[in-house]
Structure 1
Amino acid sequence: MDLSYWEIKTWLTNVDFTIVGSGIVGLNCALSLKSRFPKAKILILEKGVLPQGASTKNAGFACFGSLSEILDDLKTHTEGEVFALVKRRVAGLALLREILGDKKMNYQPFGGYELFMKADTAHFECCMSKKTEINQLLEPIFKQDVFSVKNNVFNFKNIKDKYIFNTFEGQLDTGMMMAALLQKVQSKGIKILYNLFVEHFSEDTHSVKVKTNLFTFSTSKLLIATNGFASTLHIKGVKPARAQVLITKPIKNLHIKGTFHMDRGFYYFRNIDHRILFGGGRHLDFKGEETVEMKQTEPIQSHLETLLKEIILPETPFEIEHRWSGIMGVGNQKKAIVKPLGNHVSCAVRLGGMGVAIGSLVGKELAEVWD
């Protein structure tokens, strides 16, 4: 691609910071850098027409982990590590709300519910028996019990009669959140270039040469915030994890309100605009869903529809209006990778499906890697 003198001069000359990825992490990184270095020239590169990973495709859960997810994490992490993970998620959500304000993303504190299949008695009883222990573990963060028990007030079918309720969980409008973040970033004079993906980068003594699909330029610092796409830039410790989602057409007199988790968080649904948004099911085909391909598969979509009909809306006619998928970044550990990759290159990836919760905090940490 031949660039004009004006294009080179205005967008690609004397770039102080280049951020790869315009998702939650990349945008918050840019805001943090601009706050610390008001005169810095900051450029964001985005491979899609909108943020391409999960930032505009997530379910809009303002959550930090259901009871069964926390218990599952304790199988591979210490109590101290799990406590730290939850604390970071809570701090990240607080930071996001502080940066944007609740109205800008329609944040609603409806609480979160965990449902258990009727046949899943052993798992349900295990969670119930550990509820007090986990409440005690998290008490220093919340100063009161997080998890309690509620009756099946929404009349879901084929599940246990009791839910485990999380009073601190909320929901938000993902589109509003990202539009507000983008508007805030652009109002600071930070430039975003779309439909550009980084093919290669190399450091020299004082800068980084960045080769994109359209042109090559130099930047003083390169910050990579590509999460599930990290492997495309040869960043180790991160695997892509596709999350498939569907949403119904508006349903009259929809009485369901809140965020809902099933099967250790592998299924999740919520109300939004008189609809039900329902996603998950990657555990049905872990290997197949370890991909950066943005599409849906018939077995998972069919299974989501079956659960929607048999559990969530058993007596309510519905139609599916949209289907989509997003790409998360996961690994053997839940802690995000935020680190330098060289003298002038750093990354913040592997958010473990908790981008809404920790994206703002991780973005801020990425901006502070070289402090």
Structure 2
Amino acid sequence: MNFSYWEIKSWLANLDFTIVGSGIVGLNCALYLKEIYPKANILILEKGLLPQGASTKNAGFACFGSLSEILDDLNTHTEIEVIELVKKRVEGLQLLRQTLGDSTINYQAFGGYELFTENDDLFENCLSEKDNINNLLKPIFNADVFSIKDNTFNFKNIKNQYIFNAYEGQIDTGKMMEALLQKVQSKGIKILNSITVESFSEDQGSVKVKTNQFDFSTSKLMIATNGFASQLNIPEVKPARAQVLITKPIKNLHIQGTFHLDQGYYYFRNIDNRILFGGGRNLDFKTEETTEFAQTKLIQNKLETLLKTTILPDTNFEIDHRWSGIMGVGKQKKAIVKQLSNKVFCGVRLVGMGVAIGSLIGKELAELTQN
């Protein structure tokens, strides 16, 4: 790159912290670093024009797990681990709302619904375990989380009862990220876009960073790339693509709340009188373990079929737009927040819960530097 003296001096010299990724984790990490070290020189590098992974691509669910998801987690995690997962998600959502304000992110507490197809045995299992899970979560909420509600939304091919979660809400993802970006830049933190970090190495008390555009040094490097973490040699994180579509506006759309189907592998909501509908990764896990932003016929056809037969069975609708986001998943659901080496730290593997835990993971990542 043909940098001037001024460009090097203002953007790339004397960097105390460089953060890789300008998503929810990276931006919150920057905010808390500035709180801990008010005079720190902080740079954020983002590979996309916008935060590229899932932070600006998600469905805007302010959730902490449906009943069937929590039951499924108990197959691979201890009760204490599951309680801790839910607790962190709840704390993270509170932190997000506190940081930006409910009106800024258009937070609405309409509750969440889990739906079950007519021939799904999972409903009976959830019903039989509902009281046990409510008791398990009582220390967090001081109340029952899950209850039963009748089908009032005229969905078809769905059991006549839903499992309702009064503590679930929804946000406007775009407004959240806009507000976070503005807050970060108002603190004098710099963001450079379209910069991909290719490699890094520690050298005499600093970290040498190689990007697709230039090389530079930083005192400490914070990796917050989540779904792309494996590209920076964090093997415990695998990418997981989530495909989404949205309809054109629909008149008299009475659907309100957030909705989960098939253990949370499908999810939908009303946004601006449109149905935003995503999921289907479970149809082809191997193909969806990718960092490529694209849609597949298999999943898009399934989403459209479910719209026609189940969600909007008596309504004419048109698809307006389709996209995908990249999450970070792994064998465990606990996020990885750790020191990788003397000067390098990471906060990754948010398993599709970035809205819920991103703020908290960013804070924890910043606090690692105090140890």
Q: State the TM bucket, normalised to the shorter chain.
A: over 0.9
Amino acid at match of 2:348: V
Query: Could you say which residue in structure 1 is the equivalent of 2:318?
Result: 319
> How far does residue 3 in structure 1 lie from its aligned partner after superposition?
1.1
Q: Percent identity?
A: 75
Query: Could you say which residue in structure 2 is the equivalent of 1:368?
Result: 367
- Runs of 4+ more than 2 Å apart: none
Per the alignment, in what secondary structure is the counterpart of residue 245 of structure 1? Answer: strand
Query: Could you say which residue in structure 2 is the equivalent of 1:115?
Result: 115
Deviation per CA, 1:65-120: give whole Å up to 9, x if none: 00000000000000000000000000000000000000111000000000000010
Per the alignment, in what secondary structure is the counterpart of residue 296 of structure 1? Answer: coil
Query: Could you say which residue in structure 2 is the equivalent of 1:254?
Result: 253
- Matches for 1:7-46 after TM superposition, within 5 Å: 7-46=7-46
Amino acid at match of 1:42: I
Query: Could you say which residue in structure 1 is the equivalent of 2:226?
Result: 227
Per the alignment, in what secondary structure is the counterpart of residue 368 of structure 2? Answer: coil
Q: Within the alignment, does 1:132 sit opposite 2:131 as a pair?
A: yes
* Alpha-carbon separation, structure 2, partners of 1:246 and 1:197: 28
* Alpha-carbon separation, structure 1, partners of 2:34 and 2:307: 45
- Matches for 1:1-371 after TM superposition, within 5 Å: 1-120=1-120, 122-371=121-370
What RMSD in Å do the two structures reach over aligned CA positions?
Answer: 0.5
Amino acid at match of 1:79: E
Amino acid at match of 2:16: D
TM-score, length of structure 2 as denominator length = 0.99
Q: Which consecutive unaligned segments of at least 5 residues does structure 2 have? A: none
* Alpha-carbon separation, structure 1, partners of 2:265 and 2:209: 37
Amino acid at match of 1:92: G
Deviation per CA, 1:139-197: give whole Å up to 9, x if none: 00000000000000101000000000000000000000000000000000000000000
Amino acid at match of 1:20: V
* Alpha-carbon separation, structure 2, partners of 1:302 and 1:362: 35
Per the alignment, in what secondary structure is the counterpart of residue 104 of structure 2? Answer: helix
Deviation per CA, 1:113-147: give whole Å up to 9, x if none: 00000010x21100000000000000000000000
Per the alignment, in what secondary structure is the counterpart of residue 368 of structure 1? Answer: helix
TM-score, length of structure 1 as denominator length = 0.99
> How far does residue 370 in structure 1 lie from its aligned partner after superposition?
2.7
* Alpha-carbon separation, structure 1, partners of 2:361 and 2:272: 30
* Alpha-carbon separation, structure 2, partners of 1:154 and 1:288: 33
> How far does residue 236 in structure 1 lie from its aligned partner after superposition?
1.7
> How far does residue 339 in structure 1 lie from its aligned partner after superposition?
0.4
Amino acid at match of 2:94: A
Q: Which consecutive unaligned segments of at least 5 residues does structure 1 have? A: none
Per the alignment, in what secondary structure is the counterpart of residue 364 of structure 2? Answer: helix
Deviation per CA, 1:268-288: give whole Å up to 9, x if none: 000100000000000000000
* Alpha-carbon separation, structure 2, partners of 1:15 and 1:370: 15
Amino acid at match of 1:185: V
* Alpha-carbon separation, structure 2, partners of 1:236 and 1:156: 41
| Larger displacement relative to structure 2 (198-207 or 159-168) | 198-207
Amino acid at match of 1:96: L
* Alpha-carbon separation, structure 2, partners of 1:132 and 1:369: 38
